[in-house]
Amino acid sequence: MLISKRMTRMAGLATALAIATTVAMTGCSATPGNASKTLTYWSMWKQGEPQQVVLAKAISKFEKETGIDVKVQWAGRNVIQQVTPRQVAGNPPDLFDQAGSAISGAFAKNNGVLGLSDVYDSKPTGESKEIGEVVPKGLSSLYTNSKHEPILVPYEVTGTTLWYNGLKLPDLSVQTWSEFTSELDKLKAQGQTPIAVDGDQSYYEAYWFVLSALRHGGADVITDIATDKTGKAADNPAVLAAAKDLFPLIQGGYMPSDFSGTKWPAQQSAWADGSSKTSFLLMGSWAPSETGGALQKSGIDVASTIQYRSTPFPTVAGGKGNQTTWVDDFGFAIPSKAQHADAAKQFIRFFTAKDQMEGIASTAANLTPRADIAAPEGLADFADEYQKSADAGQLVVNPDGSSANSQWASQVLYPTVADLFNKKFESPTAFVAALKQRTVATLAAQG
């Protein structure tokens, strides 16, 4: 099962809150011993999940080829909450994995994980190019410590994009916001409510607002609001421009009439199986795996029902963030107090090799950071979008402000956007005013 952004976000917010109450960790790393023969690895995956199967196979091969005994614990999504107290006590695992945004939020500021520049300067096992050459620099620079060293070596890439069914819209070509809204108008005239969204998941609604604001004003528009006690960052013209773009779609019947009253994953499932009159789903790159798996469980033939296609969120005239892609990555980190960091780095080099990492694509049906590993079926469009942004240095993590201030995101952004989608504001200006007022009040309460 693929971990969805829904699960990642819940884990990330819980992690941030847990870390806030934990004793600060030192940034000193243990001096790794020479030729460690033991490696303790705690993974976010559960037994039987595709990623776990891929990693377990690699671990077995690694043990046979190196003689290193890997003591692995399939800890599940709360792995960071388990690593943290062990790090404070001085006996953490040597290696763990999770979403890069969650690892960065928990450990980057206090240097709780090692900088991995030396790993990026080394080569995957059996290969001639360095890891820093096969993993795009645009990814390695997303998660860094106070010394600007990379702290994550990713093996899986996820991101947010606009999904549609290629069987129903085989000739779709919408690049700009005006082209997109024209397509929506055409579909609405045919009796559709073309936008699918699960209204009980407010951060899914927030995708629309965040990406629209990002397109208009660049990657830091929402993050700036999350940390501004004066509230003036909400006066950024990009915020109002995004609200003005979305307001007519929300008010004009472009979404199913019951979207706010149904429970996830009702709307995305209905989009996938065609039982609703919707065409577009703004969702993470897990959409094919998540909805396709649900179709299979329902006895529906996926190939004849949906062809997973995606297109980047539409650009806007003069937009500062028109080439930016919202991503997150899952990968390896090493606690600063790891006792066998050398063995951990050796395993990272081993798994980063193409013949190991390609299982993430072929078995787990997810995108990898390596351009020489073909994207799985259904992710080809997003892979192209991601690669272009990576090459241009235009990747961004959590532009919704959740990394900068997780409480603000959960207490202000998501519920305020939910109110927008539930038609509780009489105008875009009223929405912006509420966002600003709630930000000021919440940040004042935070102290």
pLDDT of residue 47: 97
pLDDT per position as a tens digit, 318-374: 999 999 999 999 999 999 999 999 999 999 999 999 999 999 999 999 999 999 999
pLDDT of residue 109: 87
Looking at the predicted structure, is the pLDDT value of residue 25 above 50? Answer: no
Predicted confidence band at 36 (pLDDT cuts at 50, 70, 90)?
confident
Looking at the predicted structure, is the pLDDT value of residue 386 above 90? Answer: yes
What integer is the mean pLDDT of 221-244? 98
Predicted confidence band at 19 (pLDDT cuts at 50, 70, 90)?
very low
Give the angle subtended at the CA of 328 by the CAs of 324 and 333, to the nearest 5°: 135
More confident residue, 28 or 382: 382
pLDDT of residue 93: 98
pLDDT of residue 33: 40
Looking at the predicted structure, is the pLDDT value of residue 15 above 60? Answer: no
Position 291, amino acid: T
Position 129, amino acid: K
Looking at the predicted structure, is the pLDDT value of residue 111 above 60? Answer: yes
pLDDT of residue 178: 98
